[in-house]
Structure 1
Amino acid sequence: MLRTVTVGLDGSPESRAAAEWAARESTLRSLPLKLVHVWEPVPEPMAQAPLLGAETQQHWTERIPREAAEGVALRHPGLEVITEQLYGHPGDVLAEAAKNAELLVLGSRGLGGLGGFLVGSVGLSVLAHAERPVVLVRALEQAADEHEPDPVGIPSAATPFRPVVLGLDTAHPDETLIAFAFDAALRRETPLRVVHAWNPPPYYAYGTPANPALHEALALSAAEEVAKVLSPWRTRFPGVETVEVTRYGSPAVHLVDASHEASLVVVGRRTRRNPVGSHIGHVTHAVLHHATVPVAVVPHD
């Protein structure tokens, strides 16, 4: 089965921005774009109201994906656009739809701290349970935002892409996550900036006076671990320029800082089989809340 780039569409500005980002991603991947609109049935008493009758429901559920598809096709000539109407709880339905997608794209419900995301309950549910990568896109995201400024300092879709940023945990490096980031950078013909944050072990951190030599040794060790993890990937993706960044402190803080000069931030989510809870992880959750560019969350074992 040919996979698609699938986007959850509800007619809101954020979902329309997500559809535009997904259309550009479909073009980069040479894949069809699927617009999925989920209709959550309203309670029976409301459904019987004159303005919410069966004909009205059918009109709106058909109109949203149809008009979105027409607009996307007009702005992206040659792109195959598929629409699908599904019924049920949006979080459950979209997580299921992601199984047959190359990736699932969702719009953010608003701006969080420092211009990032406010991920609503549906988005959190999908992120926690989707088996494929999920990309969050802000309502105000524009194609030019992902590109370097032109000679007069204005971002333009005609200039090269900004780097892709990958958050790397050297203690638990995952091939799925790393491969996604390298592939994204390769398709954009842009460098991959790999960000790793380190902290001294607890027995160093507590009760030990400041020691510049120790700090330098730990920083060197962290940099060597990053280089070791990335070595086979550099060989596998020789066309991707890789920039290694190791910093002392919070991974989330450094990833958010890197997002200001990125086109995409890629982070991981460890798969949990327990259906209860969000299972997103505190670093990924913080990046989602504060990053200023689209964020790809890649599930892995």
Structure 2
Amino acid sequence: MVLSVVAGVDGSAESLAAAEWAAHEAVRRERSLRLVHVWNWHPRQEDGEIATAAQRHLARRFLRQAEERVRAVCPDVRFTDEQMEGPATAALLKAAEQAELMVLGSRGLSGFTGFLVGSVALGVVAKTTRPVVLVRAGETSADEHVPAADGSAATDTGYRDVVLAVALDDACDEVIEFAFESARLRHARLRAVHAWQAANPISLGAGDIGLVDHPWRSDEWLGFLKAVLQPWRDKYPDVEVLETVVEEKPSTTLVRAATGASLLVVGHRLAERPVGPRTGPVTHAAIHHVGCPVAVVPHF
């Protein structure tokens, strides 16, 4: 069964940007696009029928807006649309089961407060076993490309870097492969980034003090990173790879590294915690504060 690229549509500016991004990604992957809108069923019989009819009409309008956006920016994409009954998170999780990847919108906030990701999107990211790409409002296809020679936005220039966050203590094949494939599809450079922090003497045991502040520690981490990525370099020989290690807080490194990127790829370990499934701190920071599209790839 050939899986499609699925985009959640709710009439918002961010969902229209997500639909546009998803359309281009579907063409890159030679997949069809599936536009999905979720509405909530009203259980009360008398008001329920009227409310349901109204929601179906509104859903049709939202889907039509997304279809018009998709046709205008990506006329070559093959797409279908569908209305689903809520709750929204559960419905989108079901839709994601039949998807190669799910694309959802995130709303940008002004200043340095980052990006607002709604509870539905967070719920999907936390629980789905499929990759999810979050796209901010205002994102266009030109934002993925390097500017033209005169500095203006362009869509016929090369793609900006794809950035991959690599946690060397938890490196995952699914995450790395998604990043390499994304770079290959775009003919873009892959920039793999690992952030490390020096060990705290208080947390070290007897005999471990020599691990602190070695001047060659960055070179060691870089060697580990290159070794982890070598099999993927062999599998994707056409992808140019730049490895970078930074002694810094990982979330800070990622936000800076993703500036000017076409896509940031981060991993999300699927694990049930006592308070329920959530994203880790690095992934949380990425999806709230990075401006470019963010691909969250789940793994076990």
> TM-score normalised to the size of structure 1?
0.91
Matches within 5 A, 1:231-242: 231-242=230-241
Unaligned segments of structure 2, at least 5 residues: 205-209
Unaligned segments of structure 1, at least 5 residues: none
CA distance in 1, matches of 2:44, 2:287: 36
1:221 counterpart residue number: 220
Per-residue deviation, residues 192-230 of structure 1 (Å, max 9, x unmatched): 000000112233888xxxx9x944211111111101101
Matches within 5 A, 1:230-269: 230-269=229-268
2:10 counterpart of 1:5: no
Matches within 5 A, 1:52-201: 53-111=51-109, 114=112, 116-201=114-199
Which shifted more, 67-76 or 252-261? 67-76
Q: Quick one: structure 1 residues 48 and 101, their matched pair in 2 at CA, closer, same or farther if it must change by over 3 Å?
A: closer
CA distance in 1, matches of 2:95, 2:151: 40
1:37 counterpart residue number: 37
Is the CA contact (8 Å cut-off) linking 2:146 and 2:157 kept in structure 1?
A: yes
SS at match of 2:216: helix
2:19 counterpart of 1:19: yes
CA distance in 2, matches of 1:112, 1:97: 32
CA distance in 2, matches of 1:179, 1:263: 17
Q: 1:57: how far off?
A: 2.7
Which shifted more, 165-174 or 110-119? 110-119
> 2:253 is matched by which residue type in structure 1?
H
Is the CA contact (8 Å cut-off) linking 2:133 and 2:296 kept in structure 1?
A: yes
Q: Quick one: structure 1 residues 114 and 27, their matched pair in 2 at CA, closer, same or farther if it must change by over 3 Å?
A: farther
User: How many residues matched?
Assistant: 297
CA distance in 2, matches of 1:56, 1:92: 22
CA distance in 1, matches of 2:272, 2:179: 24
Per-residue deviation, residues 218-265 of structure 1 (Å, max 9, x unmatched): 111111110110111111110000000100011111111011120000
Q: 1:113: how far off?
A: 6.1
CA distance in 1, matches of 2:183, 2:256: 19
> TM-score normalised to the size of structure 2?
0.91
> 1:97 is matched by which residue type in structure 2?
A
Q: 1:276: how far off?
A: 4.4
Which shifted more, 266-275 or 170-179? 266-275
| RMSD over aligned Cα atoms | 2.5
